[in-house]
């Protein structure tokens, strides 16, 4: 069995994250929890790649639509459509424009529970309601209501894989095998060694 410390996840600092000069801050949050950077590239994502990324999971469009409808309903407001797939389709179109509007940082992070931990640090999709202390909650203010009325994607600084399965597919889409580096960080001893017998002289 593969050790838990080998789990990997895909993180993209979206164009707004780069424009807000948050690259260092965001990377620091993942570094300080103990995760290891194993791949990184910088560039303007192509629209075709963004479309591929968000259609890897055929169920994603429906889910994204359902979540938007639930968010409106919770606030006692009327959603822009009652058809989740229609919302999902328009979100993909809007994401293509948003994600290809400037350079982004595409990264692979590795460590125990990396998928879950990164999602926890990133926070919920809508910055208006994502928790204080998370990256989206602390550094940006967008909402479903404002992005819908302006006809654009929610600007929330980061993409992070939602499950281990999603991570595997997304990593394969953005990185070739040889672009991901297997190496050891000195601090991994204190995170993962079973016997901690390498400290005292």
Question: Which active-site residues does the annotation give?
Answer: 159
Shortest Å, Cβ 180 to ligand ADP: 22
In the chain the beta strands, taken as DSSP E runs, fall at 8-13, 36-43, 104-110, 158-160
CB 188 within 8 A of CB 36: yes
Q: Where are the alpha helices (DSSP H) in 15-113?
A: 15-19, 23-33, 47-54, 60-74, 84-99
Least distance (Å) between residue 26 CB and ligand ADP: 14
The distance of closest approach from Cβ of residue 60 to ligand ADP in the complex, given in angstroms and rounded to an integer, is: 6
- Is 174 a binding residue for ligand ADP by CB under 6 A? The answer is no
By CB under 6 A, tell whether 12 contacts ligand ADP: no
Residue choice 51, 116, 162, 164 for contact with Mg ion (CB under 5 A): 162
What six digits make up the tokens of 54? 């968000």
Between residues 60 and 72, which has the closer beta carbon with respect to Mg ion? 60
CB of 88 to ligand ADP, least distance (A): 8
The β-bridge partners of 153 are none
Find the binder of ligand ADP among 30, 109, 144, 175 (CB under 6 A). Answer: 144
**Nearest CB to Mg ion, comparing residues 124 and 162:** 162
Whose tokens are 């290809």? That residue is 100
Binding segment for Mg ion (CB under 5 A), chosen from 85-93, 155-163, 179-187, 191-199, is 155-163
Pair 159, 171: CB distance under 8 Å: no
Closest CA to 14 of 105, 113, 132, 96: 105
Does 124 contact Mg ion by CB under 5 A? no
For the chain, the straight-line distance linking the first and the last C-alpha, in angstroms and rounded, comes to: 33
Partner that binds at residue 136, options Mg ion, ligand ADP, none, CB closer than 5 to 8 Å by kind = none
Nearest CA-CA partner of 69 in 124, 143, 144: 144
Binding site for Mg ion (CB under 5 A): 162
Binding site for ligand ADP (CB under 6 A): 64, 67-68, 87, 91, 94-95, 125, 144, 147, 153-154, 156, 159, 162
């Amino acid at each position: 069995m593969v050790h838990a410390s080998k789990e990997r996840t895909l993180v993209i600092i979206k164009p707004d994250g780069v424009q807000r000069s948050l690259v260092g801050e965001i990377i620091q949050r993942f570094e300080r929890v103990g995760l290891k950077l194993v791949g990184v590239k910088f560039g303007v994502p192509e629209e075709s790649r963004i479309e591929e990324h968000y259609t890897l999971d055929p169920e994603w469009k429906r889910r994204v639509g359902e979540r938007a409808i639930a968010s409106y309903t919770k606030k006692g407001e009327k959603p822009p459509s009652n058809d989740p797939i229609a919302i999902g389709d328009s979100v993909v179109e809007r994401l293509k424009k948003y994600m290809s509007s400037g350079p982004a940082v595409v990264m692979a992070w590795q460590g125990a529970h990396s998928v879950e931990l990164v999602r926890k640090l990133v926070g919920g999709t809508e910055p208006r309601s994502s928790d204080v202390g998370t990256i989206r909650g602390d550094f940006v203010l967008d909402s479903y209501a404002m992005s819908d009325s302006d006809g654009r994607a929610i600007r929330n600084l980061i993409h992070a894989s939602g499950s281990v399965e999603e991570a595997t597919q997304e990593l394969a889409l953005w990185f070739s095998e040889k672009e991901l580096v297997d190496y050891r960080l000195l601090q991994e001893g204190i995170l993962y060694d079973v016997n901690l017998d390498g400290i005292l002289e």
